[in-house]
A and B are shown apart, each in its own frame.
Chain A
């Protein structure tokens, strides 16, 4: 034992089995404690997309009616209506209908990471369950892709064939959304 030096890697051979056991448990507890303290890793609620990305994402939503809400954290009526959109989404049968949000947050000048974090925080806080995309291309590209009016917020509903069946500019209410959906279902657009 006398050959044991204090500190350094050389101490390893002379640590008793008991010491080793204690050390292992210290490590285990440290790791567990660190894990408990660390923020839970999860997928971000919003992903940053280019026009091409958004186009390809839209392909995934084909063959089912789709509700698209255009919004931004800096847009007052947008943040006002989102709790209603969240409630609306909770009533939807997502096996039959999709809903997405497209954020225009990057349309104002600022640090992208900070802007994206602001969107993420808002979505978490509002418990937004539907997928969201932060648009990261020129305003014109988004406006052309969806034939947007330019007024935020704007909400569009497409039927299962991709035809626009409803469009609303500015604040939308839960009952307006419900009425729009009812008329869509009335037209027999819900897939079997």
Chain B
């Protein structure tokens, strides 16, 4: 009941600015709040990470091969940077009505199979993704200790780890930890379009 209540409150708050066609959250803006259920059945909210040096909010999914190509690298980064005080949260915004592979149950399976060391949460209305202005999976939004956006875009420039030239998220994480501005604060996220639920994509 409590979960449903939080969800309803959030949905009404987010609905004000939540449209699938909305612009990406601008650098310096405050990361919209969320409270979403993870694959472990617990609810995770942005407020849980108040004490952290930052939060990497990553929109991803089970089905998109482009997103899947980055899972292991995200997990590796999470292992390294969670130890240094930056939280990682992966959010799946896709409508399982459109992509059955993105159902909550399949997320639970995926998280187990891949041994995710971060919460993998279910954006059951796609409204959190809309609030951040996420466009594709994977799409990264890195917030600082005050929940201000310091980096948004891709994880890295290539799916093939051997061809990577630009480790954009890692660079941003390092800058954040060093208290320096992120050099490339915005990169183009490439991937599969988010499979919006109808109510979140009316605009």
Contact = CB atoms under 8 A, between A and B. Distances in A.
Chain A partners chain B: yes
Interface of A: 74-77, 107-109, 138-140, 143, 148-153, 169-171
Given A74-B66, A108-B65, A108-B69, A150 B136 contact: yes
A139 B157 contact: yes
B114 to A, nearest CB: 16
Interface residues of B, number: 25
Question: Do most interface residues of chain B lie in helix, strand or loop, or is the interface mixed?
Answer: loop
Interface string B161-187: 101011000000000000000000000
A140 B156 CA distance: 11
A109 B160 contact: yes
Question: Do most interface residues of chain A lie in helix, strand or loop, or is the interface mixed?
Answer: loop
A169 to B, nearest CB: 7
Interface stretch (B76-84, B115-123, B189-197): B189-197
A71 to B, nearest CB: 11
A59 to B, nearest CB: 26
13 contacts: A74-B66, A76-B98, A107-B190, A108-B65, A109-B69, A139-B157, A140-B157, A143-B190, A148-B190, A150-B154, A151-B191, A152-B136, A169-B193
A58 B158 CA distance: 24
Interface in B123-175: 135-136, 154, 157-161, 163, 165-166
B159 A108 contact: yes
A107 B66 contact: yes
Given A76-B63, A107-B159, A138-B165, 14 more contacts: A74-B64, A76-B99, A76-B192, A107-B66, A108-B69, A108-B159, A109-B159, A139-B157, A140-B166, A143-B188, A150-B136, A150-B188, A152-B193, A169-B135
Of residues B99, B166, B189, B193, which shows the largest number of chain A Cβ atoms within 10 Å of its Cβ?
A: B193
A139 B141 CA distance: 20
Contacts of B157: 138-140
Given A74-B66, A108-B65, A170 B193 contact: yes
Nearest to B68: A108
Contacts of A139: 157-159, 190
B158 A152 contact: no
A108 B188 contact: no
A171 B20 CA distance: 14
Contacts of B195: 76-77
B73 to A, nearest CB: 12
Nearest to A170: B193
Contacts of A75: 64, 192-193
Contacts of B165: 138
5 smallest CB-CB distances across A and B, nearest first, come from A150-B190, A74-B65, A108-B65, A170-B193, A151-B193
A109 B66 CA distance: 9
Contacts of A151: 135-136, 191, 193
Nearest to A75: B192
Nearest to A171: B193
Nearest to B196: A170
Contacts of B99: 76
A114 B161 CA distance: 19
